[in-house]
Amino acid sequence: MHCDIYKFPKHSDMYVYIARPDYPDDTDEIRDWLSVLPKDFRAGLGASQFVMHLDLGNTEKLARVDKAEVLTKLQSQGYFVQMPPQDVMRRQAEMRAKEAQDNKYD
C-alpha cells in the first residue's frame, strides 16, 4: 500500500496519511488527495504541506505508530491521522491556555 503523508503547520507533530492504492497509475491527473477527509475535520486543519510518499509494503515499521493500524485505517477509510505524543499535546494545550489568559488582559 502506497500513501502520501502531509503535515499541517497549525497542528505541530500531527501527520495525515492518505491512501494511494492505485499508485503509480493514479498520477496522470492532478487530484485533491485530501478530499477523503471529513469536511469539518479538514476545514480545521488549515494549509497542508506534503511531507513524503511512502510505500508501506517496503517499510518494516513506523517511528510513532503501529504499521498494522495505519494499513487498516488506510484500507477502511482512505486516511490515517497520526496524533502527537501525549506530552506534546499537553504542552500545546498549556501554551494555548497561557496565550488565552495573556490576551484576556491586553
Query: What pLDDT does 106 receive?
Result: 56
Q: How many domains does the chain have?
A: 1
Query: What pLDDT does 20 receive?
Result: 92
Enclosing domain of residue 52: 2-104
Q: What is the CATH number of the domain that holds 39?
A: 3.10.510.20
Q: Are 57 and 20 in contact (CB under 8 A)?
A: no
Instruction: Give the span between the Cα atoms of 85 and 27, in whole angstroms.
Output: 33
Per-residue pLDDT of the chain (106 residues; tens, 9 = 90+): 999 999 998 887 889 999 998 888 888 777 888 999 999 999 889 899 999 999 998 888 888 888 999 999 999 999 999 987 776 656 766 777 777 777 766 5
Contacts of 63 by beta carbon, 8 Å cutoff, 6+ apart: none
pTM of the model: 0.77
